[in-house]
Structure 1
Amino acid sequence: MKAPLFLLAAFALAAPAPGQEASMDPGTVGSPEVTATALPPVELSVAVDKAEVTISDQLTYTVEVTAEPGIDPELPEFGEDLGGFRLVDMGAEGPTLLDGRRRWKRWYTLAADLVGTYVLPEMTVPYKDASGDRGQVKAPRIFVEVKTVLEPGTKDIRDLKAPEALPSSPWPIILLAGAAVLLIGVGVAVVLVVRRRRRRPQPPVPPHEQALEAMRRLGRQQLLEKGEVQRFFFELSEIFRFYLERRFSILAVESTTEELLPRLLGLAELPAPVRERTEEFLRQSDLIKFAKTVYELDELRRLAELSYQIVTETTPRASEQEGRG
């Protein structure tokens, strides 16, 4: 069995300073000793964990962005153009700190229903630096081959058998003909049903279901018990803000708390008590993430439970969901 093949593409738009030459790898035999060039302000990489899959397989598509402090990349929504794939699941991490740079990560679980060559489209991430100048980084498209699950050498069409002698009575022929017509009718009906189901778009996962499941997965990691408090609240805050953005159609993931709170005030469907608890969670999370404020374990668990309660209490009612649909 072939080992999984990983495809990784990383592109960043960053030009060297005037007069500066691109550095060579000091570890290359016989290469001159030169100084290493600085990292670009924003780096984008995309990858799939398998280059070849079968119809019964799923693959994971990963997007990772790193940026210097003060730069705000605008990660695009992935889902409108899947290159023919079906979206099964998705998740997000970050921003986290890695070697003095901010890091965002998105992952998507995809599946294919038909055999063929699929192309995940090119991705572009615009950004704005601290001085207000805008730029963008790109990652190329990725090709994935979807193959059949039939074993090698298997024949779809069997060889013809020798003709058999017809019976003297016509009734066996009539019964066989009737059974054949019935089987053909059933086969046509099955094909039509399968085609309709394949053409029917998969309904998106509701924001509250996606957020609650992501919170449960994060809780099972037991990061608070392991002392990884900052990492826990970075990921929990990202999940919570992503929920607010999808649930209320406001910009939340890439906004600061001070930018987000006025937008919450304008939401008629967000009661004042829930809005106050939302503000409490956002501000306390910021203190833990950036000011490294120390809380007792019970208080940390209470804040985590508070985010879970807010999502539960703001879940749309059935009538509201039907109205939106």
Structure 2
Amino acid sequence: MRWLALCTFLLVSPALAQEPAPAPSQVALAKLPLVEPQGFQARVQPEQVLLGEPFVYELVITHPADHRYDLELPPELGDFELLSQARTPPETGKEPAVTTFHLKLSAFNLGMLSLPEVPFLVSTPEGPRRFVAPARSLEVASTLPEDAQAEGADLKEIQPPTEVTIPSWTLAWVLAGLLTAAGFGLMVWRVLRKYRKHRVAQVKPLLPLDVRTRQALDILKSEDLPAKGKVKDFYFRLSEIIRGYLGERYGFDALECTSSELMQELRRKKPLQFPEDGLMRFVSESDLVKYARAESTPESCREALAFGYELLDKTWPPLVPPLTEASLVSNASGPRVS
């Protein structure tokens, strides 16, 4: 038994010795000596960054081939939110080596902002080192057009975040689960009952697009969400109704488009009697309320809902074309017999 335990220890020890060391924390990384790469470049794509819309922060590092650069981002990025990150390793055997990092970010503040310093863990033959990419100033613009203030689009400043008390919903979830189980059992019983009586289910025809859209606007109006303090929910619902109508009306996926892509697609299709200025104002105000936590008055909410009805009235085509005198004479003469 002693010989078996000794052999097992000799076999496992080299494997344990070869395990890679864990990555250092931010505090340990700050204590490492600095190293400068052979070259460093940083740029932002697109150059004009809009509020709430994603952009790419590209970092290109030129370094010796026996050095490896790994990104060690801090947990908080200030006014920016990290959406994704990617690392493009250098080509094998190429000297000097070039490593590229792509950070997909979004900003939720207006004006001149500062992209924070970006730290890197550098593995070298002499041991671990660190490199810190300098901070960079960046201007974040609003999605409102330049003449928005002259047109009356007066929006309030962005308010700081507030603390919200989150209650426990354990009991509510238990009751919801019981109600769901009871509803599922009732549904199964009804299906089996219909199957035994050999009843044919009738499919209700889909209502026209303008009728469905107007019904959705009427329901949203009757709920009066702004008066209940649910301004953000109101704009999410109204934006979904308007985007769903535009996408089905003009044949594109409007719900998945950004604000800029939505306006570009509509300009490309060139719809007749389309209120483009009103839609731009609504999209900008909606983005600020939904993503930048801007406030909106009850009057602004009523104007936004009235724009939804106006958009429907101006863009929905007549059901039948008007009859001309020639067509009336042709219909009165009756069909020809050959």
Please say which structure displays the higher CA radius of gyration. 2
| TM-score, scaled to structure 2 | 0.36
Task: Decide which structure has greater helix share.
Answer: 2
